[in-house]
């Protein structure tokens, strides 16, 4: 799920209530068009666990989500890679252009560009500033301790 305000940085939680609520619907704001152009996640995946063709509702295996038309992750390929690496991976998350800190104004401008006809400019800017490049651990720690 990608929100217009927070990108993919959203985690769903349950709240139990008896308040009468209206059911809303998915909001289209250009993500699919951006993803069709980008494909950074599937290109970067070391085991090609993210489909690179059109979105599908069929799951590649029993371990993957089904019944939603999307670029479904082949969970068995993905987790097999994790097990073989003795760690998790998250390369797809690192390179994902929507995965940004939206408390920063420039990233809020970026998501507006991504969801507009200027989406290819956003992708170019994303690469120009080096977003998604792997950092050395000390670089990351020093950056966040200042
Ligand atoms: S976590 Fe790694 S192996 Fe799994 S889908 Fe993402 S890039 Fe591929």
Q: How far apart are CA 15 and CA 144, in angstroms?
A: 33
Chain-centre distance for alpha carbon 95: 8
Look up residue 99 and give its two tokens.
Answer: 């995965």
Whether residue 71 contacts residue 42, with contact meaning beta carbons closer than 8 Å, is answered with: yes
E strands of 2-135, at which residues? none
The model's pTM is 0.83
pLDDT per position as a tens digit, 59-70: 889 988 888 888
Q: Cα(103) to centroid of ligand 1, in Å?
A: 26
pLDDT band at 26 (very low <50, low <70, confident <90, very high): confident
Distance, in Å, from the CA atom of 96 to the CA atom of 9, rounded to the nearest integer, reads: 11
Tokens in use for 96? 């994902």
Sole residue written with tokens 């170019």: 124
Q: pLDDT, tens digit, for every residue of 35-80?
A: 999 999 999 999 999 988 889 888 889 988 888 888 889 999 999 9
CA 78 to chain centre: 15
Output phi, psi for 8, to 5 deg: -90, 0
- What is the per-residue pLDDT for 2? 87
pLDDT tens sequence across 97-132? 999 999 999 999 999 999 899 999 999 999 999 998
For residues 15 and 6, the answer to whether their CB atoms sit within 8 Å is no
Decide whether any atom of ligand 1 lies within 6 Å of the 59 Cβ.
Answer: no
Q: Which of 45, 82, 83, 84 for mutating ligand 1's site (highest number of atoms within 8 Å of CB)?
A: 45
């Amino acid at each position: 799920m990608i929100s217009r305000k927070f990108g993919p940085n959203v985690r769903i939680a349950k709240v139990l209530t008896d308040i009468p609520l209206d059911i809303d619907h998915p909001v289209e704001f250009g993500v699919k068009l951006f993803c069709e152009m980008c494909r950074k996640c599937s290109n970067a995946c070391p085991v090609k666990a993210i489909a690179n063709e059109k979105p599908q509702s069929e799951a590649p295996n029993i371990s993957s989500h089904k019944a939603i038309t999307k670029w479904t992750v082949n969970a068995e390929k993905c987790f097999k890679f994790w097990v073989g690496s003795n760690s998790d991976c998250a390369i797809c998350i690192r390179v994902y252009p929507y995965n940004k800190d939206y408390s920063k104004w420039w990233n809020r401008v970026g998501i507006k560009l991504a969801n507009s006809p200027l989406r290819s400019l956003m992708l170019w800017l994303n690469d120009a500033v080096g977003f998604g490049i792997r950092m050395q651990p000390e670089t990351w720690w020093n950056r966040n301790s200042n």
